[in-house]
């Protein structure tokens, strides 16, 4: 199943998965599609059983609503960290909006030390907790759009919404904005509003999900597979090749019913009777192979 959870603050993503596993009360395989820091809230798709193999195939783009606190720089780049610098300068909305707009497009980010990025197999946050800081290679990410949402309740704090590629660190955007403004900055709060094609409006609060899990009713909030991958074109596997296909065989594109096949592209595969089979991918030679069977 695909369970859209609205993660509350104070829990790790692992906490959410572990809690649902306990509530189900068996050894069901379970995982999630993208880590959220404990202080962060919002969309956390949780996968069970065979669906755990789908994590690499969902749409990867994300969207967040962020509160930035100007005039405060911390070692974690968010408000929970140790304060490294404070600045009393007041930054106007216009100044902030001008710098914010400059982060749209392809940008380079240096992953924060307090992150799950690994160096020689060791997560950076484990090194950071020991007081060790190492040189990190910059990573290229894409910010598709940033919208200014207005001032927050605290002085020198603003809200903005960012639409970005997977792997983008919003707290690093905050820290980099602070550097450009010369006052320092950190992330004050973060809500993920879109992840893997799932919007916050489609998510259920964690406590409600636990109650349903305990009573064997998780299917009531599960997102149907075909809806989760509705962004993909549909193809139909012919009956005389279905068994071969489901057993890992490849089928020439000229036998596929539906759209014209494009190389290196994923599709939502159906049988001729309308049954959903799963995900398929076409290779460079236009042969189609199953990626995941429902």
pLDDT at 128: 67
**Domains annotated on the chain, with CATH:** 2-59+197-227 (3.30.2350.10), 62-195 (3.30.2350.10), 232-293 (2.30.130.10)
Chain position carrying tokens 């006052």: 183
The answer to whether residue 19 scores a pLDDT higher than 70 is: yes
Q: What percentage of the chain carries pLDDT values higher than 90?
A: 78
* Residue 37 among the catalytic residues: yes
- Mean local confidence (pLDDT), 270-277: 94
The answer to whether residue 61 scores a pLDDT higher than 80 is: yes
The structure tokens listed for 141 are 């990410």
Higher pLDDT, 120 or 288: 288
The answer to whether residue 138 scores a pLDDT higher than 90 is: no
The answer to whether residue 203 scores a pLDDT higher than 70 is: yes
The answer to whether residue 1 scores a pLDDT higher than 70 is: yes
pLDDT at 34: 85
Among residues 15, 37, 75, 219, the one annotated as catalytic is 37
Q: What percentage of the chain carries pLDDT values higher than 70?
A: 95
Write the CB contacts of 193 (distance below 8 Å, at least 6 apart in sequence).
42, 43, 63, 64, 65, 161, 199, 200
- Residue 120: pLDDT band with limits 50, 70, 90: low
The answer to whether residue 188 scores a pLDDT higher than 90 is: yes
The answer to whether residue 214 scores a pLDDT higher than 70 is: yes
Q: pLDDT tens-digit profile of 230-256?
A: 999 999 999 999 999 999 999 999 999
The answer to whether residue 20 scores a pLDDT higher than 70 is: yes
Separation CA 52–CA 251 (nearest Å): 26
pLDDT at 145: 97
* Pairing of β 83-86 and β 204-205: unpaired
CB atoms within 10 A of CB 58: 20
For the chain, give the secondary structure using H, E and C. Answer: CEEEEEECCCCCHHHHHHHHHHHHCCCCCEEECCCCCCCCEEEEEEEEHHHHHHCCCCCCCEEEEEEEEECEEECCCECCCCEEEECCCCCCHHHHHHHHHCCCEEEEECCCCCCCCEECCEEHHHHHHCCCCCCCCCEEEEEEEEEEEEECCCCCEEEEEEEECCCCCHHHHHHHHHHHHCCCEEEEEEEEEEECCEEHHHCEEHHHHHHHHHCCCHHHCCCCHHHHCCCCCEEEECHHHHHHHHCCCCEEHHHCEECCCCCCEEEEEEECCCCEEEEEEECCCCEEEEEEEC
pLDDT at 133: 73
pLDDT at 35: 87
Do 200 and 194 contact (CB within 8 A), yes or no?
Answer: yes
- Mean local confidence (pLDDT), 260-289: 93
Q: pLDDT tens-digit profile of 65-116?
A: 999 999 999 999 999 999 999 998 889 999 999 999 999 999 998 877 666 6
Distances (CA, A) of 166 to 9, 35, 42, 58, 62: 21, 11, 15, 11, 6
- Mean local confidence (pLDDT), 7-13: 95
pLDDT at 260: 86
Q: pLDDT tens-digit profile of 145-163?
A: 999 999 998 889 999 999 9
Chain position carrying tokens 């919002």: 42
Tell whether the torsion through CA atoms of 34, 37, 38 and 43 is positive or negative.
negative
Which of 73, 103, 260 has its CA nearest to residue 184? 73
pLDDT at 293: 93
Do 152 and 79 contact (CB within 8 A), yes or no?
Answer: no
């Amino acid at each position: 199943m695909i369970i859209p959870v609205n993660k509350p603050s104070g829990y790790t993503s692992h906490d959410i998965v572990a809690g649902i596993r306990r509530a189900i009360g068996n050894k069901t395989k379970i995982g999630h599609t993208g880590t959220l820091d404990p202080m962060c809230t919002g969309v956390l798709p949780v996968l069970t059983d065979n669906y755990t193999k789908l994590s690499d195939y969902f749409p990867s783009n994300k969207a967040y609503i962020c509160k930035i606190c100007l005039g405060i720089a911390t070692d974690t780049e968010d408000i929970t960290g140790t304060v490294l610098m404070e600045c009393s300068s007041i930054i106007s909305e216009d100044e902030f909006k001008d710098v914010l707009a400059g982060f749209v497009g392809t940008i380079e980010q240096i992953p924060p030390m307090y992150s799950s990025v690994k160096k020689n197999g060791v997560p950076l946050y484990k090194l950071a907790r020991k007081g060790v800081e190492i040189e990190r290679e910059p990573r290229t990410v894409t910010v598709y759009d940033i919208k200014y949402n207005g001032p927050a309740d605290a002085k020198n704090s603003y809200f903005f919404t960012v639409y970005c590629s997977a792997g983008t660190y919003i707290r690093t955007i905050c820290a980099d904005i602070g550097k450009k403004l010369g006052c320092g900055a950190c992330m004050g709060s973060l809500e993920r509003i879109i992840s893997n094609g799932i919007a916050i409006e489609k998510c259920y609060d964690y406590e409600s999900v636990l109650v349903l899990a305990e009573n064997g009713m998780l299917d009531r909030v599960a997102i149907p597979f075909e809806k989760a991958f509705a962004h993909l074109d549909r193809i139909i596997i012919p009956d005389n090749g279905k068994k071969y296909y489901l057993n890992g065989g490849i089928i020439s594109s000229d036998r596929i019913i539906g759209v014209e096949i494009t190389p290196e592209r994923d599709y939502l595969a159906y049988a001729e009777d309308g049954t959903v089979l799963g995900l398929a991918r076409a290779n460079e030679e236009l042969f189609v192979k199953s990626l995941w069977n429902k």
